[in-house]
Amino acid sequence: MKNKAAKCNSSMAQLGALMALLSLVTAPLTRAATATWTGAGPDQFWSDAANWSGATPSGNAVMFPPGAFPVTTNTLGAVNNIVSANLTCTNLTFSNATITASSDYLTTFIDPGVTLAVNGPLVVNGATGGTPYYDYVTMAGTNCTFIVSNLASTCYIGGANVANVELATLTLADGTNILITGTLDMGYSAGGNGRQTTVNLGNGTNVINANIIQMGLSKAQCTVQFAGPNGGVAIAGTNGARVTQLVMGYGSSGSGAANGQLLLAGHPASVLVYTNIMGEDTADTGLRMVS
């Protein structure tokens, strides 16, 4: 336990320098166009304008839509887009949903030493309607940094719209991941049946700062866990104190159940929360495992 605590303290001590990177995120941006990934260029680089339609990503909203190769790939973990230089965008949306569980994967690779900063919402979500949709997103790379700064609104992972039997999976890179948002919704079905959301933390430093964190709402299930044997996480409020409210399994219907699981055992972890609601209704469940 002492060794784990020491590792966590060491990781958290590095955050002072990392937070300086937030100046990249909070700098004023003057454009508001949408850059939509096509992958039509001769390479996979974000810096190549031939890979985008509508705009280029720097200073703009970035959208990864559904579609066949080269928009996506049919192999889980196969890199199909690369961030090769520091870049700031106004929001980042992955909607590469498909009705087939084994196609339309998306993997964003961030080169070593490179920072991808998002000055606005992060959204990982499929499409509306009753058809089953699957949305797989992987952020890959080591010694890289992924920062989301979205204090004014909500980040959605598997929960920005109504869709039945949707599966949304986000895997973070094995570098430094910093997510700062007013509200973090993970797994919200809005009355639809069977939605499952999984967030795999990276094998590095993971920081989640949010005023409200909601996991598994309505009839949805959400699991936050580590992707591998390494890595640590610090969860707190946006002011560096405590999360105002952590909700895990909050159902809104008698015909389905909600479930939220925070599985952090075996990893250095710090979770600072004022109020933790676990399993609001009789059919709902919440589980928090912290080493």
Mean pLDDT of the chain: 82
* Pick from 247, 54, 38: nearest CA to 46: 38
pLDDT score for 259: 85
Instruction: With cut-offs at 50, 70 and 90, classify the pLDDT of residue 26.
Output: very low
* Pick from 126, 52, 125: nearest CA to 89: 52
What digits encode the pLDDT tens for the residues 265-282? 999 999 999 998 886 654
The parent domain of residue 58 ranges over 2-289
> For the chain, what is the domain count?
1
More confident of the two residues 215 and 1: 215
User: What is d(CA 49, CA 11) in angstroms, rounded to the nearest whole number?
Assistant: 37
Taking the complete model, does pTM exceed 0.75, yes or no?
yes
What digits encode the pLDDT tens for the residues 250-269? 776 666 677 889 999 999 99
What digits encode the pLDDT tens for the residues 62-114? 999 888 889 988 888 899 999 999 999 999 999 866 666 666 889 999 999 99
User: What is d(CA 116, CA 86) in angstroms, rounded to the nearest whole number?
Assistant: 6
